[in-house]
Amino acid sequence: MNVKITVTYDGTDFCGWQIQPNGRSVQQILEEAVEKVTGEKVKITGSGRTDSGVHAMGQTASFRLEKNFPVERLYLALNAFLPPDVKVVASETAPDNFNACRSAKKKTYIYRFYKSKAELPLLERYAYRINPDVNTDKMREVAEVYKGEHDFKCFKASGSSALTTVRTIYDINIKENGIETTLSVTGNGFLYNMVRILAGTLLKAAEGKFGVDDALSSLSTGKRELCGTTLPAKGLCLYSVEYD
């Protein structure tokens, strides 16, 4: 039986999705819960490996069970054994050839900012503070350059093991609600730290330090140093994963 689950978690106290020798991972917590509920040891495959401190609203994962189980109610049983910072919000039977990672077609990440001259405790845990005077219209102008299929070598972080840096960004949206600004990015896949680097680059544009010509140059040369800094993980959230 192939099972698909949708997971949400606060990544603050996790070392990331993937099991680590000396860290608390989302994958390990979930696998332990599945064993307690079903009596089976499983290996759970996530749609992607979120890094330490990154959150998820709609992370998807899949695994196989040897025995039949009322899968539609599995999420309720799992949540009884899961800590407050990770919960399963849906569970369903998936086709035999479904793999949460390889079958994914689109992923959407959001990066949250808030405008304030002082840290606000109720936002600081999940968003990155920026100067109230930044120009988000400049963000939108530069974001247009990065839409479509490109070689995103300029967004390749050190330590990335990607064999190719060509990716497609289907959409980039920047929305404002009071002091909060949300950057939403949908693509067919992302390089290691790519969205956090894109967020840092668009913030650089909002500060008047990076323009459309700079964005075009970053793509044509592939130079990482032309782009912005890698913003902190706390502002990033895997929002959703889409399949056929």
pLDDT per residue as tens digits for the range 206-222: 999 999 999 999 999 99
Residue 163 confidence (pLDDT): 84
Query: Is residue 159 predicted with pLDDT exceeding 80?
Result: no
Nearest by Cα to 94 from 119, 117, 62: 62
Residue 158 confidence (pLDDT): 79
Residue 157 confidence (pLDDT): 87
Strand partners, 167: 150
> For residue 96, with 0-12 CB atoms within 10 Å meaning exposed, 13-18 middle and 19 or more buried, which class applies?
exposed
Mean pLDDT (the chain, rounded)? 96
Residues in CB range of 178: below 8 A, 6 or more apart: none
Query: Is residue 161 predicted with pLDDT exceeding 80?
Result: no
Confidence of residue 160 (pLDDT cuts 50, 70, 90): confident
DSSP H or E segment with residue 5: strand 2-9
Looking only at the bridges linking them, the beta strands covering 55-64 and 180-187 are unpaired
> For residue 218, with 0-12 CB atoms within 10 Å meaning exposed, 13-18 middle and 19 or more buried, which class applies?
buried
C-alpha to C-alpha distance for 102 and 191, rounded to whole angstroms = 15
The larger pLDDT score, comparing residue 242 to residue 68, is at 242
Question: What is the residue type of 52?
Answer: S
Angle CA 207–209–215, to nearest 5 = 115
Q: What percentage of the chain reaches a pLDDT higher than 90?
A: 95
pLDDT digits (tens, 9 = 90+) for 220-235: 999 999 999 999 999 9
- 51 included as an active-site residue: yes
Residues in CB range of 216: below 8 A, 6 or more apart: 145
C-alpha to C-alpha distance for 181 and 228, rounded to whole angstroms = 18
Q: How many helices (H) and strands (E) does the chain have?
A: 6, 10
> Under DSSP, is residue 93 helix (H, G, I), strand (E, B) or coil?
strand
Query: Is residue 111 predicted with pLDDT exceeding 90?
Result: yes
pLDDT digits (tens, 9 = 90+) for 49-85: 999 999 999 999 999 999 989 999 999 999 999 999 9
What is the chain's Cα-based Rg?
19
Catalytic annotation, pick one of 10, 13, 51, 171: 51
Decide: 139 and 231 in contact? Cβ < 8 Å. no
Residue with tokens 């390990």: 28
C-alpha to C-alpha distance for 9 and 83, rounded to whole angstroms = 10
C-alpha to C-alpha distance for 101 and 88, rounded to whole angstroms = 17
Question: What is the residue type of 162?
Answer: A
Residue 233: how many CB atoms within 10 A of its CB?
19
DSSP-assigned states of every residue in 84-120? TTEEEEEEEE--TT--TTTT--EEEEEEEEEE-SS--
